[in-house]
Structure 1
Amino acid sequence: MDKFRNKYKIGSHRLRNWDYSSNALYFLTIVTQNRECILGDIIAGEIKLSEMGKIVENEFLKSFEIRNELFLHAYIIMPNHLHMIVEICHPGNESNDLIDNVQSHGHNVESQGDNVQPYGYDVEPHGRAVLQWQSIKPNRPVRLPKSISSFIAGFKSGVNTKIDDYIDEHHLPIPKYNKQNHFFQPNYHDHIVRNDFEYQRIADYIIQNPTVWENDKLNHKK
């Protein structure tokens, strides 16, 4: 994780030419600004959410109530970040196995950082990603509706609003959040889940994340 103007930031890992509104399973990580541990504390291997952490969880779960195309498979809120596996499955375009959407189909596409392992993994990267090309549209310089980016943007906006309301209600002596003062880092990490083995490995990592917090790469206090 790099620094820019003395602030931690996640570099872009968007996969070139992948349509992020496509039916697929996505492993996502969102980190608080400056990796500040304001979402809760790890106590005896479990997360105890702060009041702000509870607001974040409520807004996060609400996203899946208002978005028909979005489904939650697994998530964990950590002191300064969220891990999740989410699925995009547009009504009328279902598949018995959405992982088929990212299986081999004769075209090699080099991942631009997408082969980075989930935090804490001690395995070799898979290298070049082989993706099904038939339904993939090139990325556009606009945010596609019903996509991963629109979900993340809506979630972050809702968190900013609710956290600001909390700051006002409790007269907290801290700056409010806006476009110049983000609650979360502007970017996020994404990884397209390619097969059942990878899905299970990532799901296990999410579940076990609180138990390895002391050695977590995002724990700047270690």
Structure 2
Amino acid sequence: MDTTKPSRKKIRLVGYDYSSSGAYFITICTVDRKPLLWRCSDADFGLSRCGETVKTAIESIGKHYECVAVDKYCIMPNHVHLILTIIADECGRMISAPTVSNVVGSMKRWVSKELGVSIWQKSFFDRVIRGEKDYLEIWQYIDENPLKWVSDELYIG
């Protein structure tokens, strides 16, 4: 019997410094892509308790990391999109900039602690935003994502 685990696919750019100044498009999914972040019924629609906790966590990222800003975000039923900007020069001489993984991991842990249960799948997806055109296209994608939910690749319905 083969007891070796399959190796996980690396989803980060090899050799890239994820603490360097730049903008990053992040997607974080809930475990098994369960729709935990919205309340969706005929009588009630909006963020669930989990979704509200995630919103609080996202909006406090800049308070915990002075050189990190959340420029844009969208909370969907089973995933979150954000544009994170790291400005390493603003971290000061004695403090190195956090990596994207540090920021996302910290946010996920805080949400899990607040809820008393982990709602996240392992890891997250990221894309280094390369230039203004790319940034604006991602901004628009995040803006329009709720309108396209049924056709979203992460839709489970």
State TM-score, norm by structure 2.
0.84
**Count of aligned positions:** 144
C-alpha distance in structure 1 between counterparts of 2:142 and 2:40, whole Å: 14
Whether the 8 Å contact between 2:19 and 2:98 is mirrored in structure 1 is yes
- The answer to whether residue 9 in structure 2 is matched with residue 57 in structure 1 is no
Instruction: Tell me which protein shows more helix as a share of its residues.
Output: 2
Provide the residue aligned with 2:126 in structure 1.
190
Change in CA separation of 1:82 and 1:21 when aligned onto 2, cut-off 3 Å: same
Provide the residue aligned with 2:5 in structure 1.
none
Change in CA separation of 1:203 and 1:11 when aligned onto 2, cut-off 3 Å: farther
**Percent of aligned pairs with the same amino acid:** 29
Provide the residue aligned with 1:68 in structure 2.
66
Deviations 1:34-86 (A, max 9, x none): 0000100468xxx7101111011111211221111101111000000000111
Listed as ranges, the matches of 1:165-180 within 5 Å are 177=117
Among candidates 15, 35, 39, match of residue 37 of structure 1: 35
Change in CA separation of 1:57 and 1:92 when aligned onto 2, cut-off 3 Å: closer
Q: RMSD between aligned alpha carbons?
A: 2.2
Partner AA of 1:154 in structure 2 = S
Whether the 8 Å contact between 2:67 and 2:90 is mirrored in structure 1 is no
Listed as ranges, the matches of 1:107-118 within 5 Å are none
Secondary structure, in 3 states, of the residue corresponding to 1:26? strand
Structure with max Cα Rg: 1
Among candidates 76, 79, 89, match of residue 78 of structure 1: 76
Listed as ranges, the matches of 1:1-222 within 5 Å are 12-41=10-39, 48-92=46-90, 146-164=98-116, 177=117, 182-221=118-157
Change in CA separation of 1:161 and 1:154 when aligned onto 2, cut-off 3 Å: same
Whether the 8 Å contact between 2:19 and 2:100 is mirrored in structure 1 is yes
Secondary structure, in 3 states, of the residue corresponding to 1:146? coil
C-alpha distance in structure 1 between counterparts of 2:28 and 2:132, whole Å: 23
C-alpha distance in structure 2 between counterparts of 1:210 and 1:42, whole Å: 13
Whether the 8 Å contact between 2:74 and 2:81 is mirrored in structure 1 is yes
Q: Identify unmatched segments of 5+ residues in structure 2.
A: 1-7
Whether the 8 Å contact between 2:58 and 2:70 is mirrored in structure 1 is no
C-alpha distance in structure 2 between counterparts of 1:87 and 1:50, whole Å: 27
Partner AA of 1:38 in structure 2 = L
Whether the 8 Å contact between 2:61 and 2:69 is mirrored in structure 1 is no
Deviations 1:136-169 (A, max 9, x none): xxxxxxxx961101101110110011001xxxxx
State TM-score, norm by structure 1.
0.60
Q: Identify unmatched segments of 5+ residues in structure 1.
A: 1-9, 94-143, 165-176
